[in-house]
Chain A
């Protein structure tokens, strides 16, 4: 009889404790982030697809068209092309495309780049209907960044 009563009392008490916890949570502010309406700043170590770095001093890319990123890429995603204008000493970048459908974000291209012309972007809103939408013209993205 004592054990029976004890069980009822302790059981009821534990139920009340449970209710107290949930009502406390009910009045606490919500912690969910309403994603499409609000976003958090992306962490600096996030690896998006690669992007050309905009250099303030040069007013453009730091790329010297050495092609080492193209060689370093294990999946052959990167196509780099450049030409030397009349009388100029260095090559000028004319094409830098990334086939993101094959990219595994290994970062070997970023490591191999001696002048530090490419880096990971913070792009994560990537969705599309066609393969072609994921072949990025990085030079065009750089032009867009400039303006």
Chain B
């Protein structure tokens, strides 16, 4: 009896992706705490293991040993389903992401579309979890998450449509291959297609922060007003899975930003492209995400919506029209 190599390949990728997501979720917490510490001129975790490297393990063990309590009057099915609904689409998004020239689990022709389809399930998970936990803070948080995501999905998708008009493909691997040969070929510097490309990248990045509910847009879990928002009633690993889902979504968001704008696994100097360049760019963006969190205070909810509807959406639409005009003319 022989096993088809395709089966083994998929199994290897499945294990690899789940391992990558779990390690990232664990060690991004460590990175976040370290970076926050140094920005505030502290050290951060240092006692558990060398440089506090075992801290995520200790935190995980502590969360796992806690009892999973379903609050009285809560919708037990939705309550238990919600963390999985946040985590699963994040893991599924990794299926189409090209890490290297040959390192891509499934090179879908509609890869970009698939990632955005999966990413929008994340909101549903948060909404159901908040609704199911029958808590007033959680419900306020759910309303905020939905209106925030509606507001920020528009500029994000308009930017992506602009980009797809330039590249002419939804295949993520093809988008990366088009950006080969030095950083001046990256989409973020493709000024011949649209002089507003760097602005488009910044809009995409801001929207990604808002989509993943990261500070300064973490209205969903505004501790000072809403306790922990959607996560208020979640004990132990229920909360832990939400937390891992949040970090997994950050990894997906930064990966997509890397692929769409920063040339994916291409080297900035056209030499030795490979998975290491993808990782360097992705982790630099993650570093920036954390850096932004520890620089800016949380915005107000009106500020958040005003930024999207009054600034990001008009600029992204202007960019769309400008790009289409330039594509037609040149």
Contact = CB atoms under 8 A, between A and B. Distances in A.
A30 B44 CA distance: 10
B38 A26 contact: yes
B41 A28 contact: yes
B43 A25 contact: no
Interface stretch (B84-92, B121-129, B290-298): B290-298
B39 A26 contact: yes
Contacts of A31: 41
Given A8-B311, A15-B296, A18-B296, A30 B42 contact: yes
Contacts of A21: 295
A8 B203 CA distance: 13
B291 A19 contact: yes
B269 to A, nearest CB: 24
A15 B35 CA distance: 19
B300 interface: no
A147 interface: no
A22 interface: yes
Contact of A19 (B35, B42, B295, B311): B295
A108 B294 CA distance: 50
A79 to B, nearest CB: 43
Contacts of A19: 291-292, 295
B159 to A, nearest CB: 17
Given A26-B35, A26-B38, A34 B295 contact: no
Interface in A47-100: none
Contact of A22 (B43, B46, B294, B311): B294
Interface residues of B, number: 15
A22 B216 CA distance: 15
B272 to A, nearest CB: 28
Contacts of B295: 18-19, 21-22
B41 A30 contact: yes
Given A8-B311, A18-B296, A22-B291, A30 B43 contact: yes
A85 to B, nearest CB: 55
Contacts of B294: 22
A28 B39 CA distance: 8
A32 B39 contact: no
Given A8-B311, A15-B296, A25 B291 contact: no
Interface in A1-36: 8, 15, 18-19, 21-23, 25-32, 34
B40 interface: yes
Contact of B41 (A8, A25, A34): A25
Contacts of B35: 26
17 contacts: A8-B311, A15-B296, A18-B295, A18-B296, A19-B291, A19-B292, A22-B291, A22-B294, A23-B291, A25-B39, A25-B40, A26-B35, A26-B38, A27-B38, A30-B41, A30-B42, A34-B43
Interface of A: 8, 15, 18-19, 21-23, 25-32, 34
